[in-house]
Structure 1
Amino acid sequence: MVSTVDLTYPFKGRWLTQNSPANRVPSHGTTLLATSFAIDFVPVDEAGRTAPITFGSLLRPEPAERFPGFGRPIFAPVEGVVVGVHDTAADHAAFRGLPSVGYALTQRRRAAAGWVALAGNHVMIETHHGPVVALCHLQRGSVQVRPGHSVRAGETLGRCGNSGNSTEPHVHVQAIDRLEVLHAAAVPITFEGRLPRNGDIIEAG
């Protein structure tokens, strides 16, 4: 069994690291659905910021299109074969401030609905050495690959979205030891030989 999967960054430009296992394991605060070593990357602008916070954004949901990374291309971080795709989940509004509290209260319902409800639109790639890498929360209708498609690292998979369990546009990356997520174990991941920490700004491309 492979102990760690080393990936290339699945994006270009500036991205903020969040929920990194470099800071804690399980990185997302739960072992649910093999997310112990999962990591999130949030697209930001040249100043390292997401959409500006206004008084309105603290009181009501915001259009996902308002965020700088919505629609940015997402690339395969590893060579392998596509073994899972979902591309029909809607991109919902983003939630910050008070709206994020209400959104958090619906998390139990989404978790009960299963993997797809949490992952939203996603691509799963089985690597040549065994583990499966999942990239989640993609933009609806953006996925360009299908199961059985062989991909190379750097090949376009889709675009950054806000589908599934997501409060603002970002990409969630995790590796698991088998395709059946409910029965899978989490596999540690690194990116180009290192694991970025929470708050790191990644300049890729």
Structure 2
Amino acid sequence: MERNPPGGQGEPVLLRLPFDGRWLAQNSPARRVPSHGTDLLGGRYAIDFVGVDSRHRTAFSSDWRTFAATEPPDRFVAWGQPVLAPAGGVVVGVHDGEPDHAARRSQLALLPYALGQPARLRQGVAPVAGNHVVIRLGHAPAFVALAHLRAGSIDVAPGEEVSAGQHLAACGNSGNSTQPHLHLQVMDGPDASTARGLPMAFARFREWPRGPGSSRIRDAGLPQEGAVVEALPPDGAGG
């Protein structure tokens, strides 16, 4: 197991991947820390996952809007995919009601969106995280946040106990998000505006490294930047 991600201290919190199927790892703390270029909002070791199909494509189709405008979020594989609890614990925070945005792959569409990012940061957690769930973990003194969820899809409420693999919500494109994806981070407190990020690792998954090559099974660790991953059942659980 990777005991210490780059720049990290202490044992990483071990989670399961919070989804089924194949997802692309981006902004991985296996590449750099802070993984998103900042320690703000408890995101020092955060990671992003983008749903992909069997050919590892993030979208079902492309057209002129891909290169010159915004796109509907439902053309992306991640849109509406189930988001699962990465560990057992108690829900301590839920925020819903943020709109899901149009997606942006075009540089023409990305530029004005990027220019608006400082303003979103000044507004606080919700405009950045979008719809999100925070869980106090039962097996570690830590909190896990799952962000950019689809508006109206959250199935849990504060105070509810959840088990690993339980359905929480659907993947969306709310908050500071340019295409549907799932943002996950572990923190030392429930409020991202004051919490510090903690290192994490994921248990038992298949990984297709970036570039040519076959997949490998990893018992625990962090997905490499640009790798595609798929959750596997625990040893002895079948599948």
TM range (shorter): over 0.9
- 1:139 pairs with 2:147: no
Contact map agreement 2:132 2:147 (CA 8 A) in 1 = yes
- The match for 1:165 is 176
State the shift of 1:101 in Å: 1.2
Residue 81 of structure 1: which of 84, 90, 93 is its match?
90
| Stretches (4+) displaced over 2 A | 52-56
Contact map agreement 1:3 1:187 (CA 8 A) in 2 = no
- The match for 2:72 is 63
What pairs up with 1:1-205 in 2 under 5 angstroms? 3-51=11-59, 52-97=61-106, 98-128=108-138, 129-192=140-203, 193-204=220-231
Distance in 1 (CA, whole Å) between partners of 2:46 and 2:74 is 25
Contact map agreement 1:37 1:187 (CA 8 A) in 2 = yes
Distance in 2 (CA, whole Å) between partners of 1:82 and 1:10 is 15
Q: Which amino acid in structure 1 is aligned with residue 230 of structure 2?
A: E
State the shift of 1:2 in Å: 6.8
Distance in 2 (CA, whole Å) between partners of 1:2 and 1:80 is 21
Distance in 2 (CA, whole Å) between partners of 1:117 and 1:54 is 29
Structure 1: where are the runs of 5+ without partners? none
Higher RCO, 1 vs 2 (CA within 8 Å, ≥6 residues apart): 1
State the shift of 1:93 in Å: 0.3
Distance in 1 (CA, whole Å) between partners of 2:117 and 2:130 is 13
Contact map agreement 1:27 1:37 (CA 8 A) in 2 = yes
Q: Which amino acid in structure 2 is aligned with residue 115 of structure 1?
A: V
Contact map agreement 2:16 2:231 (CA 8 A) in 1 = no
State the shift of 1:180 in Å: 2.4
Question: How many residues align structurally?
Answer: 205
Distance in 2 (CA, whole Å) between partners of 1:38 and 1:68 is 21
SS in 2 for 1:181: coil
Compute the RMSD of aligned alpha carbons: 1.3
Distance in 1 (CA, whole Å) between partners of 2:190 and 2:21 is 30
SS in 2 for 1:137: strand
Contact map agreement 2:132 2:149 (CA 8 A) in 1 = yes
State the shift of 1:3 in Å: 3.4
Contact map agreement 1:2 1:130 (CA 8 A) in 2 = no
SS in 2 for 1:6: strand
State the shift of 1:69 in Å: 1.6
